[in-house]
Each structure stands twice: as C-alpha cells, then as structure tokens.
Amino acid sequence: MDIPAAADPGRTAPDPLLARLRAGEAAAYRELVRANAPRLQATARRILRDEHEAQDAVQDAFLAAFRALADFDGASSLGTWLHRIAVNAALQRLRRRPRAPTCSVEDLLPAWSDDGHHATPPRAFAESPESCAARAETRSLVRAAIDRLPDDYRLALVLRDVEEIPVAEAARSLGISEGALKVRAHRARQALRTLLEPHLQRTP
C-alpha cells in the first residue's frame, strides 16, 4: 500500500504517543486505534459506501501504519498520516471491485449555445434552510445526488471537497495527473449542481 509522507505545516510538537508506540506499549496502540478509528471509518465508508468493506479497509490501514511506524517521519501529525493511509486502503479495495456500469457525466454538465452562452439559464439556489429538520432533509437529498455521480467523479469530489486532500496527493492516490483530478472534481461539482438545482432552486 502507498504510505504517504504528508506534510502538515501547522504541526508543532512531536506526538508523545509516538514514542510509546515505538516502544511497543500495548495501551498506546489501543489509544491510537480508539482515537482515530471513527474518523478513518467514516472516510472509508464515504469512499466504499459499504459498512463491512469500510471496516476491513480501516483494519488494512492500521496494520499498514503499524508496519510503517518506524519510517514515520513526523512531517505530518499522526492523525493526518493515518487519514491518508486509510484513504489509500479504501481506494485499493475499491479498485479490486468489478466496476459497476455508470451513467455519463456529460449529461449532467451545463449545455452551451454556439456563442458560448448558457443554453438554459441557470436557476438560483435558495439560501440554506434554518430548521434542523429541513437541513437534515437537504443533506439526505444531497447524499442521494452524490451517489448518482459516476464513481470516478464521486471519488474526486469526496477526496477534494470532503476529505480535503491536497490536489497532488489525491491525484497520486487515484493514479491520475493533477490536471485530470482538477477537471474531475470540477465536473463532479457541476454535475452535482445540475442534480440539485431543481430541488434547491429559489422559489419566486
């Protein structure tokens, strides 16, 4: 598995947990897993959309991290480092899956007239609703729309906009160029905008 050496300029002091892990302290390992597993599991679920596979990916990730602990250079926080490993573990499992047939993203991109104008005028989005119930409803609508995106585009969106992985690293994880990743993330946002527009447009 690809073990990234993620740089995190915000980091200052070395993690005291690291020394205990390197000393082989069992309690330190439990602490590390307990503290990080929920976030890593959420990340793996977002990528794999399958509970069991996500848990397997989390396990893959921790074991890969334990093996690489001696080489961990502290250039990022332990949490950031684990997160990147979990992303790669989940992607690796995703690649092993047979590819499901997907719809084309082209149908969800804006259409243009010959002179470069919007073929159909875009409609304005309403402001986010105030009430909790309405917000929850919107979230489930958005999740359903994200699930409709072709997988390559959904992944670009999840890695960039949700997991907030830097472009270079996300591109490397997906095995594509940085330019290609930016295009995919942009197309994914455009397609999602198209899917959301009829549901979230401002009522006159």
Partner 1 sequence: MNCQEFRSLERDAVEGRLSEPVRDAFAEHLGACAACAERYRRACHLTCREVAEFLHDWVAGELPPERARSFEDHVHICEECEVYLDGYKKTVALGREALTAADDPAESAVPERLVDAILAARIEEERRRS
In our burial notation (b when 16+ CB lie closer than 10 A, e otherwise), range 79-114 reads: bbbbbbbbbbbbbbbbeeeeeeeeeebeebeeeeee
Count of helix runs (H) and strand runs (E) in the chain: 8, 0
* Beta strand residue intervals within 91-192, DSSP E: none
Minimum CB separation from partner 1 for residue 184, in Å? 10
Neighbours of 179 (CB within 10 A): 10
**Pair of tokens at residue 31:** 């602490």
Among 19, 112, 129, 168, binds partner 1 (CB under 8 A): 112
Q: Is 134 in the site for partner 1 (CB under 8 A)?
A: no
Among 22, 95, 97, 118, binds partner 1 (CB under 8 A): 118
Q: Is 55 in the site for partner 1 (CB under 8 A)?
A: yes
Among 157, 159, 165, 170, binds partner 1 (CB under 8 A): 157
Residue 39's closest CA among 198, 202, 195, 162? 162
7-26: contacts with partner 1 (CB under 8 A): 26
Helical pair 51-68 and 78-96, crossing angle rounded to 10 deg: 130
What is the three-class DSSP state of 56? helix
158-177: contacts with partner 1 (CB under 8 A): 158, 161-162
**Pair of tokens at residue 186:** 């942009």
Q: Is 58 in the site for partner 1 (CB under 8 A)?
A: yes
Options 79-87, 88-96, 124-132, 170-178: segment touching partner 1 (CB under 8 A) = 124-132
* Count of residues of this chain found to bind partner 1 when the rule CB under 8 A is applied: 52
Helical pair 178-200 and 132-148, crossing angle rounded to 10 deg: 130
Q: Is 45 in the site for partner 1 (CB under 8 A)?
A: yes
Chain positions contacting partner 1, by CB under 8 A: 26, 29-30, 33-34, 37-38, 41-42, 45-46, 55, 58-59, 62-63, 66-67, 110, 112, 115-118, 121-125, 128, 136, 138-140, 142-143, 146, 157-158, 161-162, 182-183, 185-186, 189-190, 192-193, 196-197, 200
